[in-house]
Amino acid sequence: MREGLPKVHLIAKNRITQYMGAASAYAVVLKAIENDIQALLKSNPEIFTFSKLDKGFVEIRDFQSTGVVAFAKGMPFAKLSSGKQSLNGHRVQVKEEYRQNSIDSIENLVTHL
């Protein structure tokens, strides 16, 4: 027996700046995506697990240097130390505030799954 295609459960919006909300260059693109999803919710609601636009999106801040260091080291944000890090012979600063913001963003994403 063949299963149908998986349904869309969540759409993660990234490129959110720390102080200004959605970065202006991406705000237009993100709004266009919302418009497309809204139209699809009306025309093909069966492809989603949500029925209201605001239930289908989660905003994720840009992880910046914290993400680069964590991903390069292959470790989750929760296990990454803040402070100076060595990355391929270069010193990179991981600010605790940004590390915690990254953890909070991932936890927010997980609560929507």
pLDDT tens readout for residues 56-94: 999 887 788 898 899 999 999 999 999 998 888 889 899
Residue 1 pLDDT class (50, 70, 90 cuts): very low
In contact, 18 and 61? CB cutoff 8 Å: yes
pTM for the full predicted model: 0.71
pLDDT (0 to 100) of residue 4: 81
CA–CA distance, 81 with 83 (Å, rounded to integer): 7
- The length of the chain in residues reads 113
pLDDT (0 to 100) of residue 18: 53
pLDDT (0 to 100) of residue 42: 96
